[in-house]
Amino acid sequence: MAPTDLSKTFIRCLRGGVRVDLEVTSTVSHFGDGGCGRMSDGYNFQQLKTEILALSRATDWETAKTEWKLIGVGEAEERETCLCGHFPIIELCTITNQVTGRTADVGNVCVKRFLGFRSDLIFASIKRIRKDPDKSIGAEAAVFLRERGIINAWEYDFQQSTYRKRDLTYKQLSTRHTINQKVLAYVARRGIV
Ligand SMILES: [Zn+2]
C-alpha cells in the first residue's frame, strides 16, 4: 500500500452541486478493487466527513463517528460510488447511525480507514472461503456474522474454537462448510439488513 505515483491526476468532485474534474498533484496510493484508492486522501476524507456529518446528530467528527455502526457487508452486482465520491466500489459496507437512524453505503476501504471498522477482515474472510471452502472465516468476521444473526450461537462457538484448526474431523469439516455457505449466501444478497 505504498505510494506509487506522484504524477498529476484528476479527481472528480462536487462543487456547488456540479460535477467537475479537478487536476491535482498528489501522492496516489493504490488499494484493492473494493476500495477508495487512487485519490487524494484528504480531499475524499473531507467529502466523506461532510456526507457522514450531514446524516449524524453530533456536529464534530470524532463524536459523530461513534454514532455509527457497521450493519452489513456485501458485494455490489454493479459498480457503485462511495459516499466519498470514489468510483467504482464493489465491496460495500452498510453503516447505520444509531442516533438518527440514517444509513449509508460506504466502500470497504473508507469504512476501515475513516471509521475504523474492520470490514477489511470480513472481506478477507469471504475471499478466503470462496477460494477454498475448507478454509475458515476469521474471528472478527464470526463476531460480525453472529451479531447479524447469520450464524447461530452454536455455530459461533464452533467457529471460534476451530477456525485455526486444519485437521478437522469429517463432521467438523462438514459444519465448517455449512457455515461458509451461509456466509457466502449472505454476501450474495448484498448483506443489507
Ligand atoms: Zn470512499
Question: For 44-56, how does the pLDDT look when each residue is reduced to its tens digit (9 = 90+)?
Answer: 889 999 999 999 9
The C-alpha atoms of residue 56 and residue 66 are separated, in whole angstroms, by 10
Of 134, 142, 124, residue with least CA distance to 178: 134
Across the range 170-185, mean pLDDT stands at: 96
**Which of residues 73, 100, 115 is at a domain's end?**
115
Task: State whether 107 and 151 are in the same domain.
Answer: no
Range of the structural domain that residue 134 is part of: 121-188
pLDDT at 126: 95
- pLDDT, the chain, mean: 81
CA of 117 to the centre of ligand 1 (A): 13
**Residue 73 domain-assigned (yes or no):** yes
**Residue 193 domain-assigned (yes or no):** no
Task: State whether 68 and 89 are in the same domain.
Answer: yes
What angle do the packed helices 139-147 and 153-162 form, to 10 degrees? 180
190 — pLDDT class (breaks 50, 70, 90) = low
Task: State whether 87 and 134 are in the same domain.
Answer: no
Output helix, strand, coil percentages for the chain, rounded to the nearest 5. Answer: 40, 25, 35
Residue-wise pLDDT for 19-43, tens only, equals: 434 433 333 333 443 444 444 544 4
Q: Using an 8 Å Cβ cutoff, are 55 and 112 in contact?
A: no
**Residue 131 domain-assigned (yes or no):** yes
Amino acid identity for residue 122 in this structure = I
Task: State whether 47 and 131 are in the same domain.
Answer: no
Task: State whether 100 and 142 are in the same domain.
Answer: no
Task: State whether 75 and 170 are in the same domain.
Answer: no
CA of 48 to the centre of ligand 1 (A): 7
CA of 134 to the centre of ligand 1 (A): 32
Number of domains in the chain: 2
CA of 123 to the centre of ligand 1 (A): 16
CA of 108 to the centre of ligand 1 (A): 8
Q: Using an 8 Å Cβ cutoff, are 191 and 73 in contact?
A: yes
**Cα within 13 Å of Cα(132), Cβ side:** 7
The C-alpha atoms of residue 94 and residue 36 are separated, in whole angstroms, by 15
CA of 50 to the centre of ligand 1 (A): 12
**Which of residues 87, 115, 143 is at a domain's end?**
115
pLDDT at 51: 95
CA of 30 to the centre of ligand 1 (A): 13
CA of 183 to the centre of ligand 1 (A): 24
CA of 113 to the centre of ligand 1 (A): 9
123 pLDDT exceeds 90?
yes
CA of 86 to the centre of ligand 1 (A): 5
